[in-house]
Amino acid sequence: MKSQLTSRSALILIVFAQFLGTSLWFAGNAVAPEISLILGIPEILATITSVVQLGFILGTLLFAIFSIPDRFSPSRVFLVSSVLAASFNLLIVVLPMELAVVLICRFMVGFFLAGIYPVGMKIAADYFQKGLGAALGFLVGALVLGTAFPHLLKGLDLNFSWQHVLLFTSVLALLGGGIVGFFVPEGPFHKINPQFDIRILPKLSKIKALKSAASGYFGHMWELYTFWAFVPVLIGFFRGNDTMQANDSLLSFFVIAAGAFSCALGGMVSNRIGSSRVAQLALVGSGVCCILVLFAAGLPSWIWIALLLIWGIFITADSPQFSTLVAQSVPAEYRGTALTLVNSLGFALSVISIQLAEYLLNWLRIDVALALLVIGPVSGLLLFRFYASQKGIE
């Protein structure tokens, strides 16, 4: 099927659909306090976050192994995945409230998000041969807004129940799936790879440019989702609150959503200075914020709020640029597989990071625990440069 859309029109639709679909991602986090009270189980935030990540890891791994985004229509994969993810999200409202039900449903939401986020990037890459960094900047920015959106619903204090939050995000995901599935055909640079090749993963592992981009992405992922998951906790610590307030949710939204702006801006800047430089600058900036958070406690609120907003800006700006470098490092017919594989491994690291942070909170303050996330930017930057120097990447 030939594309009848301009690349710009396709990008607008994909970005909007990506925002709608990924609103499912942190919907469980937004309603975690209410679910915790109903179940009588304290401190389930890290568990709910990690189970979604684990589902996404398994989903992206299977999608990569079987080359789903390259062997089948990516638009149809996006549609089916959106419907299934929305359905499992809604089942939490429909089925009896039990911890096992919540965790299984959130796991399956994460599993089918594998057909939304990386597949959305693959569809965008099929429309852009040049300017891919800018295109993915807008696309990942939509993911960031989708991730932050449930916090906005809570922060506006509109008296939405936890059921309404889950219902609303499910409807948004269905709408997003329909937009891509029915109105965004394969792009002009789409190349199908109909054959299942069990050797595809070993082949990809030998590409030094891919290893360079993936290394930087892994360092970024060590930091990103742990920061996002514990932003409300960190805000409560700075404010001296024991319980989550509506203002805390609203500030959490702005801290996370600030990354959408930096993704878009970084994408446009990458057209001038390259994706590699933008990604490295973002890693350095987020690493500095990790250290500065150690000195923020007790300072006037405007100082630590500004620091969190800046951290939210830097911590996401590198994501679309590393994804751009991943997409550009492999032949077009392997692009979807490479993106899903790197996503799978990156999110596996994020689960380890989240659980480690939760464990460290038994002994450390939240600001100290999150300061240790500096390990991600430092290691990512060093490994990125190491593999890039072997390939002469700039």
Chain position carrying tokens 């398994």: 58
pLDDT digits (tens, 9 = 90+) for 302-352: 999 999 999 999 999 999 999 999 988 888 778 888 888 898 899 899 889
Least confident stretch, 134-138, 254-258, 337-341:
337-341
Give me the percent of the chain exceeding a pLDDT of 90: 53
Per-residue pLDDT for 285 more than 90?
yes
Q: What is the tens place of the pLDDT at every residue in 44-93?
A: 877 887 899 899 999 988 988 888 888 889 999 999 999 999 999 999 99
- Helices within 66-207 (DSSP H only): 68-71, 74-94, 99-113, 117-125, 132-155, 162-183, 200-205
Tell me the pLDDT band of 368, cut-offs 50, 70 and 90.
very high
Residue of 225, 204, 205 lying closest to 376 (CA atoms): 225
Is the pLDDT confidence value at 30 over 80? no
| Domains of the chain by residue range | 7-183+198-391
For residue range 152-198, list pLDDT tens digits in order. 877 777 777 889 889 999 999 999 999 999 999 887 877 776 565 66
Cα dihedral 230, 236, 237, 238 sign? positive
Q: Is 121 exposed, middle or buried (0-12, 13-18, 19+ CB in 10 A)?
A: buried
Identify the band that residue 242 occupies on the pLDDT scale cut at 50, 70 and 90. Answer: low
Q: Find the mean pLDDT for residues 255-277.
A: 93
pTM for this entry: 0.83
Q: How far apart are the first and last CA of the chain?
A: 37
Class of domain 7-183+198-391: mainly alpha
- Whether 159 and 361 have beta carbons less than 8 Å apart is answered as no
pLDDT at 3 over 50: no
